[in-house]
Chain A
Amino acid sequence: MTAHAQAMPRASRAASRDRTARAAGRGDRLAAGVSHTVLVIWCILVIGPMIWVLIGSFKTSSEIFASPFSLPEHWSFTNYVNAWVDAQIGQAFLNTIIVVGSALVLVMLLGAMCAYVLARFEFPGRRAIYYLMLAGLTFPVFLAIVPLFFVLQNAGLLGTLPGLIVVYVAFALPFTVFFLYAFFQGLPDDIAEAAAIDGAGNWRTFFQVMMPMARPGLASVAIFNFLGLWNQFILPIALNPDQQNYVLSQRLAAFVSSAGYAVDFGAMFAAVVVTIVPVLIAYVIFQRQLQGSVTAGTMK
Chain B
Amino acid sequence: MTAIPGAGQVLPTGEGAPAGPGRGPRRRLGGWSFDTVSFFVVFLGLPLALFLVFVIWPFVQAVFYALTNWSGFSAEFDVVGLANFTALVQDPRFLNAVGNSVMFGLFIPLITIAIALTFAILITVGGSGKGQVRGVRGAGFYRVVSLFPYVIPAIAVGIMWRLILDPSNGLVNGILTGLGLDRFQSFAWLGNVGTAMPVTMFVVVWGFVGFYMLLFIAAIKGVPSEIYEASRIDGAGRWRTSWSITLPLIRDNVQTAYIYLGIIALDLFVYVQALNPQGGPDNSTLVMSQQLFRTAFTEGKFGYASAMGVAMAIVTLVFAALVFTVNRLAGGRSERGRG
**Would B206 and A27 count as touching, CB distance under 8 A?**
no
Q: Which residues of A lie under 8 Å from residue B269 when comparing CB positions?
A: 142, 233-234
5 nearest A-B residue pairs (beta carbon)? A228-B2, A297-B9, A35-B126, A68-B174, A170-B54
Judged by a CB distance under 8 angstroms, whether A60 is at the interface is no
Interface of A toward B, CB cutoff 8 Å: 24, 27-28, 31-32, 34-36, 38-39, 42-43, 45-47, 49-50, 52-53, 56, 64-65, 67-69, 110-111, 113-114, 116-118, 120-123, 126-127, 129-130, 132-149, 151, 166-167, 169-175, 177-179, 181-182, 185, 189, 192, 201-203, 206, 224-225, 227-234, 237-238, 248-249, 252-253, 255-257, 265, 268-269, 272, 275-276, 279-280, 282-284, 287, 290-291, 293-295, 297-300
Name the distance in Å between B157's Cβ and chain A's nearest Cβ: 9
Name the distance in Å between B153's Cβ and chain A's nearest Cβ: 4
Contact bitstring B39-62, A, C-beta under 8 A = 1, else 0 = 110111011101111111111011
**Would B6 and A297 count as touching, CB distance under 8 A?**
yes
Name the distance in Å between A118's Cβ and chain B's nearest Cβ: 8
**Would A257 and B54 count as touching, CB distance under 8 A?**
no
A300 (CB) vs chain B CBs: closest residue? B337
Q: Which residues of B lie under 8 Å from residue A248 when comparing CB positions?
A: 153
Q: In chain B between 11 and 60, which residues have their CB closer than 8 angstroms to a CB of chain A?
A: 11-16, 18-20, 23-29, 33, 35-36, 38-40, 42-44, 46-48, 50-59
Q: Which residues of B lie under 8 Å from residue A140 when comparing CB positions?
A: 263, 267, 289, 309, 312-313, 316
**Would A252 and B156 count as touching, CB distance under 8 A?**
yes
Bound CA span A249–B2, Å: 14
Count of A-B contacts with CB under 8 A? 367
Bound CA span A43–B118, Å: 14
Name the distance in Å between A27's Cβ and chain B's nearest Cβ: 6
Judged by a CB distance under 8 angstroms, whether B127 is at the interface is yes
Q: Add 15 more A-B contacts to A110-B50, A121-B29 (CB < 8 A).
A: A35-B122, A38-B118, A123-B29, A130-B14, A132-B52, A143-B58, A189-B23, A202-B43, A224-B6, A231-B152, A249-B153, A256-B277, A272-B156, A290-B151, A298-B219
